[in-house]
Amino acid sequence: MDESARKQILRRLQSIEGHIRGVERMVDEDVYCIDIMKQINAIQAALSKANQLILENHLNTCVTSAVRGDDPAERERVLQEITGVFEMSSKV
């Protein structure tokens, strides 16, 4: 993974971790349900952004290298991985 992308993703994940702790406190303190749900939606959006950044990095590094490489089996493997990830995400 590109070092710049790694740092950016780690910062996002650390922020998400803090938000999750905040939601735990909100539940523990019996905060209004809608307020908790809004925070959970924000966490889900942040996770989606982190996932997008990881995918972008993967496409720009691993997939690009495999597609430009000489090994047809490796090209097929990475393309199947990407397809599998999208199939899995559509089931959620």
pLDDT score recorded for residue 91:
77
Among 86, 15, 8, which Cα is nearest to 45's? 15
Which residues span the domain enclosing 61?
3-91
Average pLDDT over residues 7-22: 97
Tokens of 42: 């924000």
CATH number for the domain that contains residue 43: 1.20.58.1000
With a CB cutoff of 8 Å and minimum separation 6, the contacts of 68 are none
**What tens digit of pLDDT does each residue of 50-70 get?**
999 999 999 999 889 988 999
Distance between CA atoms of residues 7 and 23, nearest Å: 24
Number of domains in the chain: 1
pTM: 0.82
Of 15, 18, 8, nearest to 57 by C-alpha is: 8
